[in-house]
Amino acid sequence: MELNRRRLLGLSGLAVAAAVVPLSAGCSFIRDDDGLSALAADFDGSILLPGDPGFALAAWPNNANYADVIPKAVAICVSIADISRCITWVRDTGSVFAVRSGGHNYAGFSTTSGLLVDVRYMNAVTFDPATGLVQISAGANNQEVAECLRPHGVSYPAGRCPTVGIGGLILGGGWGFAATRHGATCDSLVATDVVLADASVVTASPDTNADLFWGVRGAAGGNLGVNAGFSLKTYAAPNVTVFNLTWPPVKHVELMDALQTLQIDHPTDLSTRSKIVMTTATAKPSLEQLCVTTTGLYWGSKADFIEILQPVLAVANPAPASDQTGVPRSERSGPVRTEGDIVELTYWEGRDYLATNDPQGLYVSKNSFLGERMSIEGLNEMVSWMRRWPGGSAAQLNMGLFFAFGGAVRDLPTDAMAYVHRNSNFLFQIEPEWTPRDSPATVAAMTSWLDDYYDAMQPYVLPESYQNFPDRTLADFGSSYYGANLPRLQSVKRAYDPDNVFSFAQSIPL
């Protein structure tokens, strides 16, 4: 049942102080002092309460670990004015709140027990061939931007997951297979409209509110305001070669080292996501139950890619497409594709090939940036911890993976914007998953393993973590996410949100 404007106006007209007003059978109760009737009285979208049709879906996060965080209400915004009304309401009532676009926040920071400000349905995307700019509303996701740009033969540094919201992707940096070619997604931002903590709306660009523009590019979502729209540069979308290769369970360290070298030697022509995966769900897997995979994109022909791949093939040949029995797909979800593939496609066909909605469900994640590479010693340590996996119902596919995060990302200085991670070639991530079949004791063993594994890897990584993959357990998240840019970012925060309206467990500390 939609909590519409007329119904709320009727409720607010009942002169019963602090009355409990039943909305309908099976719905929650709303008290006059909740103030939601005042919000809905002048709202272009809709306000959903627990029990209303659509509420459960609107409240559900990508990471099911936070599915028990139930909002008081979900404000389905359809206009910038709606966003401003929500900010005014939370200031007036003192309610806690969170902002959501795609809902993929790993640490559950787009969940709340208060008002969930949902901009998902503000999803218009338009492209201007004259300027080469794409205008993206707050709630649009990767898929919706792709559908707009595909007919025009242009691209942008997109994320890999179709359902990830563009807003969160941009504001925390933005990784995708085009990052090594065109930079992080935030590097292509030319302007953004922001609803500030006082509910006013400003534009941030290199020429207007330049300090805010500096800050939003890397601060991560929900820190400086609600970004209501974005203007991004686009790029030509040529034919590319995409690949998905899996090796037999041999020479794990040597292959991972060779794949790093391959990426480093071709920093802007190649983008890889390489890892070691389990072939079966088991505790303490043997080396014969682990295999190396790499997935990615090459900005050139298939023949040229095979040529540059030769040093990796000299270590070991991948399993042919016809001999993949027992080897898992590199992702849990996404389009069906053949293992062992090397395929030359148009850019957008290649993007479809690489798309995945992984991760989703029950998972936890930790990450650190690497400098030039993971050393041989670090790779051996990584494999040793994989072999200590305590077990669970799912074969682990993300026990130690390397995202290519160098190339064009390194072209800018570390202080060009708030996004600071410019001195790295890779992001190292550990991301165990589980299912409802796993007992609390089993999950506790997994998370304990993760903590110990992550701590053991610290000598081999940088003291930096990716703010778009937030980790609630980081001891010093400000330094990990923002490095030397933190003091300037705090100054921007004080200027635009002096009352710390946009506050959550890992918001920019004032």
Could you identify the residue written with the tokens 């937030």? 470
CA-nearest of 243, 436, 464 to 338 is 243
pLDDT in tens, 170-198: 999 999 999 999 999 999 999 999 999 99
Summarised one tens digit per residue, pLDDT across range 113-160 is 999 999 999 999 999 999 999 999 999 999 999 999 999 999 999 889
Q: How confident is the model at residue 324 (pLDDT cuts 50, 70, 90)?
A: very low
Strands of 138-265, DSSP E? 154-155, 189-195, 201-204, 226-233, 235-236, 240-246
Cβ atoms of 253 and 324 within 8 Å: the answer is: no
232-241, 338-347, 446-455: least confident range = 338-347
CATH of 125-236+486-496, one of 3.90.190.20, 3.40.50.300, 3.30.465.10, 1.25.10.10: 3.30.465.10
What is the chain's mean pLDDT, rounded? 90
For residue 82, pLDDT over 70 is answered with yes
Q: What integer is the mean pLDDT of 275-300?
A: 97
Q: What is the mean pLDDT of residues 404-416?
A: 98
Question: Over pLDDT 90: what percentage of the chain?
Answer: 86
Question: Distance (Å, rounded) from C-alpha 193 to C-alpha 81?
Answer: 12
And the tokens for 370?
A: 């690497």
> Per-residue confidence at 241, pLDDT binned at 50, 70, 90?
very high
Q: Which class is domain 240-479?
A: alpha beta
Looking at residue 359, its pLDDT comes to 83
CB atoms within 10 A of CB 253: 18
Per-residue pLDDT at 358:
78
d(CA 50, CA 64): 18
In this prediction, residue 321 carries a pLDDT of: 65
Residue listed under structure tokens 């209303």: 52
- For the chain, domain boundaries: 5-118, 125-236+486-496, 240-479
- pLDDT bracket for residue 246 (50, 70, 90): very high
At 417 the pLDDT is 98
pLDDT level of residue 304 (50, 70, 90 thresholds): very high
| Confidence category of residue 340, pLDDT binned at 50, 70, 90 | low
Where are the extended beta strands (E) located within 133-188? 133-137, 154-155
Measured CA to CA, the distance from residue 55 to residue 8 in angstroms comes to: 17
Contact call for residues 220 and 470 (beta carbons, < 8 A) = yes
From residue 469, give the alpha-carbon distance in Å to each of 64, 106, 253, 266, 278: 15, 6, 26, 26, 23
Q: Is the pLDDT of residue 4 over 70?
A: no
Query: Residue 298 pLDDT > 50, yes or no?
Result: yes
Return the half-sphere exposure (C-beta side, CA atoms, 13 A cut-off) of residue 53: 3
Q: Which residues contact 61 (CB under 8 A, 6 or more apart)?
A: 67, 69, 103, 105, 108, 110, 111
Cα separation, 66 vs 443, in Å, equals 15
Cβ atoms within 10 A of the Cβ of 384, count?
11
327 pLDDT exceeds 90?
A: no
% the chain with pLDDT above 70: 90
Q: Is 343 exposed, middle or buried (0-12, 13-18, 19+ CB in 10 A)?
A: middle
29, pLDDT greater than 50 = no
Nearest CA among 275, 257, 369, 350 for reference residue 305: 350
Lowest-pLDDT choice from 99-113, 195-209, 273-287, 339-353: 339-353
DSSP bridge partners of 245: 294
Contacts of 94 (CB under 8 A, 6+ apart): none
Q: Output the pLDDT for position 74.
A: 97
Query: How high is the pLDDT of residue 490?
Result: 98
CATH match for 5-118 among 3.30.43.10, 3.40.50.1780, 3.40.50.300, 3.20.20.210: 3.30.43.10
Q: Are 157 and 176 in contact (CB under 8 A)?
A: yes
Over residues 438-476, the pLDDT tens digits come to 999 999 999 999 999 999 999 999 999 999 999 999 999
DSSP 3: B
